[in-house]
Amino acid sequence: MKINLIPWKKKFLSISQFLLIAFVFGISYTQRPLYYDNQTTKFFHGLAQAGYGFLENDWFASTIDPLPAFTFLVKITHLYLNEYAFYLYYIIIFGVYIYSLTGIVSFIFPIGINSRKNVDAKVNSDRLKYLVFFAVLIVLHSINIQIKALDLDTALNIHYGVAEQYVLGPYFQPSNFGVFIIFSIYRFLHRNYFLAVACLAIAATFHPTYLMGAAIICLTYLIIIYKNERSLIKVISVGGVATLLLLPVFSYMYFQFRPTTAELWAKSQYIIVQLRIPHHSIPQIFLSKPSAYLQILLVVIALYLIRKTKVFATLFIPFLIIVTLTIIQIFYPNNTIAFVAPWRLSAVLVPIATSIIVAWLVSYLFDRYFQVKHKRSVMAASLATISMVFVLGLYNQGQMFVEQDRSVPMLNYVKKTTQQEDLYLVPNKNKELRKFRVYTGAPILVNFKSHPYKDVEVLEWYERNLAAQAFYESPSDRQCDILKQLVADYQINKVVTESQNFNASCTFLAQLYKDDRYGVYQLKK
């Protein structure tokens, strides 16, 4: 029996092509080294459950985990793989991102790798369009080629959402799984309805804050299906599958984080929305920045360009819903709505809009000015641009792994010397020390970056922050008395201080470590 190897060869080439594009785009984008900023919170529960250091002794480890799926991924990766796997995961996500954006714009413009297969000359032209499209996108996403003016940053604002929320960012974290919403839209356009809603569920499962966005997109799908196919059975079946797939994460969030009492819930929501993440949650804040209007303008322009296509409704309905909810929130503020942040979906709409505008420009210029004699020049310029951004990304990626901030010597000391019984008091608002827990494996009292979500736990977290803040922001003649109270309340036995802000006058402290930036002290027994 003769085996036809051609389909397998095509699959291999497609996978190889996907991985190559993902690698080139991912390196050009560049990733921060572990563990940076949000990773200090998002990775914590997974590392604690994997037995990293003594994190299981940290109070934060006892709080309810808001990211069980991502925690499981971090846990198994830490237990059975190398931490470098996290960088590989992000490379794959970069690939899904580019693949999905290309798929969406190819539905509108002849710009995809496999577009227009009927005429060889047209195939070559469309593939060259894709090369130019990819070159432009890679430049627009690269932090190594930034144009900053009027509080705008081309490397961020044209693919971030309006409230400093994003799908792609400088490091691997749960929000990156928003690429599956973009992939979902791509598959929906090709009428793969059940795969489309399954991808929405993947995004929401790994990052439950996408639940609202997934619900809005799913509602959009159902409206379009009914409008186009007039099939109530199909609407019910697609909606039913979506409900079943989203139900586990919705149920987990509802039962784990439902209000203990109305009063406690209101207090906790106020603390998170108004004090912890106002930049994400309050429209008056994020709409005060020019970048928000640039991002809105990008979406409006893209909608205008595709107004006569089948893609229009898929993007317009979610845009209309989030604009309406944002306006309502401005005039009738509600902390729960602010916390859910329906405008997070702009982090999906903006990169799609940018891609549509780029694809339209590329198609317009090719159709109007391109001639066959320009083919080699255009191809050479595109490949040179991609290569330049890739090399810059590779260089800066290496530099990021070499460079260290001023906290690293102290953190290395703590990592080597921490014992089972240790509990550290650390400057709770120091950005350099956000990574203290996940870098050292040592438990701390609290930091301002990493907060829980259950109402009673939010209040406890806030009280701990106030206590730590009282110590670090008090005059030196009061610090010793405040520290004694902290020791009595929380059984702290080690203290990290910023050297210039602490005179080490407490007689019950013994100095263990000191450099020009930080000091580490132990309570005398």
* Structure-token pair, residue 20: 């190559």
**What pLDDT digit, counting tens, does each position of 210-232 carry?**
999 999 999 999 999 999 998 89
Q: Is 452 helix (H, G, I), strand (E, B) or coil?
A: coil
Per-residue confidence (pLDDT) for residue 456, from 0 to 100? 97
* Structure-token pair, residue 3: 């085996």
Per-residue confidence (pLDDT) for residue 474, from 0 to 100? 85
Per-residue confidence (pLDDT) for residue 503, from 0 to 100? 64
Per-residue confidence (pLDDT) for residue 149, from 0 to 100? 61
Alpha-helix residue ranges (DSSP H) falling in 81-178: 85-106, 120-141, 154-157
Per-residue confidence (pLDDT) for residue 217, from 0 to 100? 97
* Structure-token pair, residue 243: 């409900």
Closest CA to 318 of 272, 278, 362, 350: 350
Per-residue confidence (pLDDT) for residue 457, from 0 to 100? 98
Per-residue confidence (pLDDT) for residue 8, from 0 to 100? 61
* Structure-token pair, residue 212: 């609202």
**What pLDDT digit, counting tens, does each position of 426-466 carry?**
999 999 999 999 999 999 999 999 999 999 999 999 999 99
Long-range contacts of 82-90 (CB under 8 A, 24+ apart): 83/34, 86/34, 86/172, 87/31, 87/172, 89/172, 90/26, 90/31, 90/171, 90/172, 90/176
Which phi and psi angles does 407 have, rounded to 5°?
-85, -15
**Residues of the chain falling short of pLDDT 50:** 1, 114-123
| Cα diameter, the chain | 89
Task: Provide the β-strand partners of residue 14.
Answer: none
Name residues whose C-beta falls within 8 Å of residue 388's C-beta, 6 or more positions apart in sequence.
none
Per-residue confidence (pLDDT) for residue 166, from 0 to 100? 95
Handedness of CA 214, 217, 219, 225 (dihedral sign): negative
Model pTM score: 0.93
CA angle 409–80–402, rounded 5-degree value: 30
Chain-wide mean pLDDT for the chain? 91
CB 139 within 8 A of CB 389: yes
Give 399-446 as a DSSP string: HHHH---TTHHHHHHHHHH--TT--EE--TT-GGGGGHHHHH---BS-
Per-residue confidence (pLDDT) for residue 16, from 0 to 100? 87
**Helices and strands in the chain: count of H runs, count of E runs:** 23, 6
**What pLDDT digit, counting tens, does each position of 375-417 carry?**
888 889 999 999 999 999 999 988 888 888 889 999 999 999 9
